[in-house]
Structures are given as structure tokens and as C-alpha cells.
Amino acid sequence: MRGFGLQRITGTGRGLFAGVAAVIVLVLVIGLGWSFAYAGKDSLTGRALTGDQLTALSRAGHACPAVTSARLAGQLMAESELDPAAARTESGGRGIAGLTDEQWRRWAPWSGAQREDTEAALLALAHLMCNLVGELRTSGVDGDAWRLALAAFRSGLPEVRKAGRVPGKASDYVDRTGKYAAYYETLPQFASAGSTQSLAAGSAPAAVPLPDELVPAVVAAGSRCPEVSPPAVAGQLMALSSFNAEQRGASGELGIAGFSEDLWQDNAPKGASVWDPQVAVPVMGDVLCRLVRELSALPGDPYLLAVAAWHAGVDTVRRAGGVPDAMTRAHLATVAAYTDYYRLDTRLAPPSAPLPSPSPSSSSSPTSASPSVRASAPTKSAPPATRAAPSPARPAATTAQAPATTAAPPPAVTTAPTRYGPGGPGGGGYPCRRRCRW
């Protein structure tokens, strides 16, 4: 009897090789199909974010190193799909952040805060998440701090402590949140450090000449310390408010210099008004010089670090060891571009001295204008007589007259440390806004 082997089944040796090749091709096709299907299921696309939500995320994303703006966005998407009016969210809370009533009572960021206020809700969520990170670290639970905190938010801190890892019933929530966060990290608004040019193209207004009435105050503010020059002060004011003395930012910034309420109260003369640019601008110079001294131990340009601290908070800059994120870098690039413009203004040169040498901002930041990404709500319009805006027929800054020599700078202001809240095991350190409870 003839052998009943593989060659008999295939007919010939050549048939054998052809059959094996066909099987290999079939396996590859099926494998690739599975891979493509898995890749499609392994990524999620989050909903578009509004300007107010982006602003709130950029603020809350500095609460502690484990909680970033993109991660918070992913959590909001998994929890409520960004619905501020959500009656019941994934974890049993309500509102855009999915906080329970008890969580809101504990973590509401200021007295009288409303859960419908996106900024308040996101700050409360960020501080709660940072606290969970700290609690888990002190409990000795090993693993990714953020994923563990997500699991604790979803199923409770005792469950995570008992399991010593992400519990099974929270794993789907943690995975979905991670996928949404990965999506938001790919967006230009959440770009990694260094990717500043595409963050908000065209959103930075063109520089305008410094109004005459502000020249003495800007020169005074830029004479407090060598690192902070008058053109640099003018550049920062342009970036913060476009010289609008009645500016009201979406995150509580007040006046021409964008003071937070706490920062103003801690540094301004008693009884002074944040709406008075003749007082607010010199106080800004005092605070910037103090920040230069406080951050002098960090590597990098001291003036840029001071501007970064003004924008994102001094504790955030310390924890990051420098400029913390792409949004802050974009703000610095905008300030640098404006500073280059105001360096041409002869009114801002010290008396009997040549124009200031290039400011630190121009040597350490991009020289081309980069848009600011600090999204803000429409500001309150100032009356024509008080709004600091030049008329179209006004000559360029390079032909303006030198400031009057009789304008003496206001006396130096004794400063006090800026209050930051809350610390806690998770790090905290986010600058207080409005009336903070801590």
C-alpha cells in the first residue's frame, strides 16, 4: 500500500509549498485584520472643548504633577461627556466633574462657588484627584499614581487599598479615561513642551504703542531690579490685558496687570485699587522682582521664570523645575515678541542712557510672535476716556517723546508671600482664585 502522507494529499512537492504559502498568507491577512480592528477599538475620540473649558483645564492642570490638563479632559469625557448639567455621571456624581455632594462640599475651591461654574468644578476635581494620589502614596500602594487615583475616584479609596492595585470593577473606567486622555494629548491645545507655534494661531493681538499716560508707571515698574526692564513690563502688560485698565479675566484676573485677588491683597498698598494702573503697574514690577529672587536657584532665565510664575503659579514652576508646560511657553513667547516691539520705544529708555540691551525674554524665547493660549471670556469694555488704546493716527512708538523726568517712581512696596492652596499629600500648590477657603 502506498504511503498516505502529506505529499499524497497535496499531490506534489510543489503543491506542498504552494499550500504552505497560502496558509501563511491567510494567517497574515487574518492577523492584520485583527490588528486593524484592535487598533480601531484601542483609541477613543473625545468631544470638542469650549474656550471656557480649555481655560479651566489649563488652570486646574497645574494642581499637582500627576494631574495634567489632558488627563483631566479625559476624565471629564469618561465621567460626564463634558456635560455641565449631567444629572448622574459614571461614578455616581453630577455635573461636568461628576462630584458627589459630599465631595463638592469638601473640595469647592472658594466660598459660594457653584457647581455649574466650570472653573470651580474642575479645580475641585483636580484637588480631589491630587489628594487621592497623596493618600495612595502614603498607603504604600504601588503602581501608576494617576491610574490608581482614577480607580479610587470610581470605586472608592478603600477598594484600591484592599486590592493593592486597580480593582476589576474600576478597570474599564480607568482604561477609557486613559484613552480619552491620550486623544486630548494629541491636540495642539495640549501639545508637549516646545510645540507652541500651533497652539492658537492668530489669537494674539498685534502690539499697539504704549499709551502716554502709562509710560511713567511702566518705567517705574521696570526700574525695580535689573532683570525686569521697562520694555519687558510693557510686553507683559500687552500680553495680559492689551493695556485695558478694566480687564476682567475668565479666571479672576483683575485690572491691567491681571492680578489675582489674593496676589493683589498680599502685595498692594493698603487701600489701593487694582483698577488704578498708576498703582497696579509698579506693584507688578515689585512682585516680578521678588519672583526673580525666589526662583533664582532654578536653571533658566530668571525673568522668564518670574513671568511663568505669574502665569501658572510659583509652586507650579518650582515643581516643574522651570517652565511647566506648552501653554506657559506660548505665553512667554508672546511676551517676548511684545518686548521686542517695546524695546524700540525711546520713551522706555533710562534717562541719559542708551536703549536697554536685549531683555532676557528675547534671548531665551522665540523671536517671532507666538500666540498666547490663555483663553479668556470677553472682557468688560472700558469707557473711551479710560480705556488705554491709541488712536489710529498716533505715530509709531519709535517716534514718541521721552517720558517726563519729573515722574518719580512710587515707593517700594513691602511684599508678602503669595498664598497657595491646598497642600496636602498630593502636592496642591495651585494659586487661590477669588475667595479660597484654605
Mind listing the pLDDT tens digit for each residue in 225-235?
999 999 999 99
In a domain, 176, yes or no: yes
Contact between 235 and 242 under an 8 Å Cβ cutoff? The reply is no
| Beta strand pairing call for 430-431 and 420-421 | antiparallel
> Is residue 218 domain-shared with residue 174, that is, in the same domain?
no
> Is residue 260 domain-shared with residue 407, that is, in the same domain?
yes
Contacting residues for 14 by C-beta, under 8 A, at least 6 apart? none
pLDDT at 55: 77
Residue 290 phi, psi dihedral angles, 5° rounding: -65, -40
> Is residue 168 domain-shared with residue 227, that is, in the same domain?
no
C-alpha cell at 287: 512682585
pLDDT grade, residue 291 (50/70/90)?
A: very high
> Is residue 264 domain-shared with residue 167, that is, in the same domain?
no
- Does residue 207 surpass a pLDDT of 90? no
pLDDT at 52: 79
> Is residue 333 domain-shared with residue 217, that is, in the same domain?
yes
> How many Å apart are CA 100 and CA 91, to the nearest integer?
9
> How many Å apart are CA 438 and CA 63, to the nearest integer?
14
> Is residue 96 domain-shared with residue 226, that is, in the same domain?
no
Give me the sign of the Cα torsion angle 186, 192, 196, 197: negative
Q: How many domains does the chain have?
A: 2
> Is residue 171 domain-shared with residue 235, that is, in the same domain?
no
> Is residue 291 domain-shared with residue 370, that is, in the same domain?
yes
> Is residue 372 domain-shared with residue 402, that is, in the same domain?
yes
pLDDT at 29: 43
CATH code for position 144: 1.10.530.10
Contact between 203 and 335 under an 8 Å Cβ cutoff? The reply is no
In a domain, 173, yes or no: yes
Most confident range, picked from 137-146, 225-234, 325-334, 397-406: 225-234
Q: pTM score, two decimals? A: 0.46
Most confident range, picked from 55-64, 71-80, 304-313: 71-80
> Is residue 368 domain-shared with residue 254, that is, in the same domain?
yes
Residue 162, domain extent: 51-190
> Is residue 184 domain-shared with residue 237, that is, in the same domain?
no
Domain boundary residue, one of 190, 221, 240:
190
